[in-house]
Amino acid sequence: MKVDVKTIIIVILIGIIGVISGFMLGNRKSGDNNSVAAAAAANNSVADPKVAKDYKRNEIMKVIRENAKEIQKCYLDHLKNNPPVKEGIVRFIMNLREDGSVESSKITKSDFESEEIGSCSLSIVNKLYFSPPPLGINRTIGHELAFKSEETARMEAEEARKKNALPKVLPVSPNQK
């Protein structure tokens, strides 16, 4: 059997193309794995701080406000014991699942001596459902609950109203007559 030069060159080229294709396909698959890993890592970090801030303000605060009366019962029960600290803040972190339910929560700081108000509040928060966090949002969210007397709340509301009120006499610029 006689083999000509053209046949040898064609066989060699097909072999080279096969090796190069296999090499490129192997790199592409490993690159896909890296991009999947990068996307998974992105889900555990905040993609855009504004999105995270809006989610917390619009979604987390909304659900907390909707359940404020139930959380307030914890505060009123706390006051029945005539505690030395009557007002304060309970800070906590919660881990949300993809569906918006609370996976876990933990108190990070409390102004109250008794742990009851914090544990009571968290038992309510743990039952809440938030809208699912957007992709790329860290699902570990810090929040604080401020417990104030009715008198303090009224006083702060009045101060805020005065601060936001328009002045009685509007300033006139020197160019206006």
Domain regions of the chain by residue span: 1-43, 49-149
* 13-39 per-position pLDDT tens digit: 777 776 676 655 555 444 444 433 344
Note the pLDDT of residue 106. 95
Strand partners, 107: 92
Give the span between the Cα atoms of 130 and 59, in whole angstroms.
7
Give the span between the Cα atoms of 37 and 171, in whole angstroms.
59
Residue tagged 């959380």 (tokens): 71
49-149, what's its fold?
Answer: 3.30.1150
CB atoms within 10 A of CB 111: 14
What's this model's pTM, rounded to 2 decimal places? 0.61
Strand partners, 146: 89
Note the pLDDT of residue 43. 44
Give the span between the Cα atoms of 146 and 156, in whole angstroms.
13
Cβ atoms of 103 and 131 closer than 8 Å: no
Residues of the chain with pLDDT under 70: 1-3, 18-19, 21-47, 166-177
Note the pLDDT of residue 137. 73
Note the pLDDT of residue 109. 95
Note the pLDDT of residue 91. 95
Note the pLDDT of residue 67. 93
